């Protein structure tokens, strides 16, 4: 089956489930509970439908899909503000399956360890995850969070977690690249969230009346909407290309471009939406803030745009240096040949 067809099927299936179950009220309930086990009915549905094992090789019990074939589902996770690390878990289960390690069935988050603290990490979705795959200077480990100490951050589901040494299981050296994989998953869900933020803003300005006509008819409003739309489209394309690079030699570069573009666009899209919705947009009752709060937080997760811009720039310099060295080598060879001929 063609990759685009599979992506369309997964996207439609994800949209159907999330539209029914991942309502704004559900998101608020999980965020209010802020505890492991929240939202497990929906989690079990996603698991039963095969989303969480979509990347796992077929001989390991999964669907054996490439990440590019699941991009639409990742967008849907972001568009519905899914308060569970489904995208992380898809990648984590694939990593564990390829390493020959049985994956926990609950939510698995991806994390980078604090350089200054042994057995501690800031973890996106840390309040609702059962386990994490964490990258340290010494390698990558699978950590059970059953005995972890939790330090929550604001009103988000992210947390700093500290765990005892016995809770960590070292994974084979073939498991690597957690930073770029976390960045890639986050960029894709951010793209979906930005699209939802734009759609909500567009709907608001087209319904809101001022001076006898909708706000969307005013040129200044249309200008702001067009800027938002450009950032949303660019983020979406970058995320698609990033997912297409998953599992290739260009994975880190593709992830860097995707995350840098998403992080750069996040405050511009979020702030543009709040500027156009005004006081209504910042109220707790208005669903917009379910997405914009998370966009601001995700901007920094696994590295901000400045971090990934440096990765892209270094790659470009290295590639140019390699090309330049090759050209110099050709001219040197021609000079030697000319000298020998004379």
Q: What is the mean predicted confidence (pLDDT) over 212-229?
A: 88
The H or E element containing residue 326 is helix 305-341
Please determine, for residue 68, whether its predicted confidence score (pLDDT) is greater than 90: yes
- pLDDT digit string (tens) for 299-334? 999 999 999 999 999 988 877 655 555 555 565 555
Residue 94 lies in a domain: yes
Q: Domain for residue 339, yes or no?
A: no
Whether 306 is in a domain gets the answer yes
- When pLDDT is cut at 50, 70 and 90, the band that residue 196 belongs to is very high
Bridge-based pairing of strands 108-113 and 131-136 is: parallel
DSSP for 145-199, written as a single string: -TT-EEEE-TTSS-EEEE--GGGEEEPPTT---HHHHHHHHHHHHHHHHHHHHHH
DSSP string, 235-304: HHHHHHHHHHTTTSTTHHHHHHHHHHHHHHHHHHHHHHHHHHHHHHHTSTTSTHHHHHHHHHHHTTTT--
Specify the number of domains making up the chain.
2
Q: What is the pLDDT of residue 334?
A: 53
203 and 151 in a single domain? The answer is no
Residues 291 and 224 in one domain: yes
**Domain assignment present for 142:** yes
The angle formed by the CA atoms of residues 64, 20 and 186, to the nearest 5 degrees, is 50
Full domain range(s) for residue 24: 3-170
The pLDDT of 217-235, averaged and rounded, is 93
Q: Is residue 111 part of a domain?
A: yes
Could you tell me if 149 and 185 lie in one domain? no
172 Cα distance to chain centroid? 24
Mark whether 267 and 195 lie in a shared domain: yes
The CATH number of the domain where 66 resides is what?
Answer: 1.10.540.10
Q: Taking a C-beta distance cutoff of 8 angstroms, is the pair 188, 243 a contact?
A: yes
Res 338 pLDDT > 90: no
Residues 235 and 139 in one domain: no
pLDDT given for residue 138 in this prediction: 85
Same domain? For 291 and 187 the reply is: yes
Residue 10 and residue 129 in one domain = yes
State pLDDT tens for residues 21-56: 999 999 999 999 988 899 999 999 999 999 999 999
337 is a domain residue: no
């Amino acid at each position: 089956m063609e990759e685009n067809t599979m992506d369309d099927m997964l996207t439609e299936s994800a949209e159907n489930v999330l539209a029914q179950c991942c309502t704004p009220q559900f998101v608020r309930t999980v965020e209010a509970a802020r505890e492991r086990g929240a939202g497990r009915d929906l989690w079990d549905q996603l698991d039963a439908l095969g989303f969480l094992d979509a990347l796992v090789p077929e001989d390991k019990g999964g669907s054996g899909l490439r990440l590019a074939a699941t991009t639409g589902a990742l967008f849907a996770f972001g568009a519905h503000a899914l308060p569970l690390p489904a995208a992380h878990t898809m990648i984590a289960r694939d990593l564990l399956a390829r390493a020959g390690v049985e994956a926990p069935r609950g939510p698995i988050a991806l994390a980078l360890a604090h350089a200054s603290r042994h057995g501690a990490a800031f973890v996106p979705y840390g309040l609702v995850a059962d386990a994490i795959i964490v990258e340290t200077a010494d390698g990558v480990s699978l950590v059970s969070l059953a005995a972890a100490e939790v330090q929550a951050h604001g009103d988000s589901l992210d947390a700093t977690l500290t765990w005892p040494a016995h809770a960590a299981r070292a994974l084979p050296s073939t498991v690597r690249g957690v930073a770029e994989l976390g960045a890639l998953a986050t960029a894709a869900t951010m793209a979906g969230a930005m699209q939802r933020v734009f759609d909500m803003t567009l709907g608001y300005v087209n319904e809101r009346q001022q001076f006898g006509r909708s706000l969307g008819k005013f040129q200044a409003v249309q200008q702001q909407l067009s800027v938002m739309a450009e950032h949303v489209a660019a983020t979406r394309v970058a995320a698609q290309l990033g997912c297409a690079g998953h599992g290739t030699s260009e994975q880190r570069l593709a992830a860097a471009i995707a995350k840098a573009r998403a992080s750069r666009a996040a405050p511009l899209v979020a702030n543009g939406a709040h500027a156009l919705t005004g006081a209504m947009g910042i109220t707790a009752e208005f669903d917009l803030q379910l997405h914009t709060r998370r966009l601001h937080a995700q901007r920094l997760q696994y590295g901000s745009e400045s971090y990934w811009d440096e990765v892209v720039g270094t790659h470009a310099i290295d590639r140019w240096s390699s090309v330049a060295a090759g050209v110099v080598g050709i001219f040197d060879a021609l000079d030697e040949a000319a000298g020998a001929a004379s």
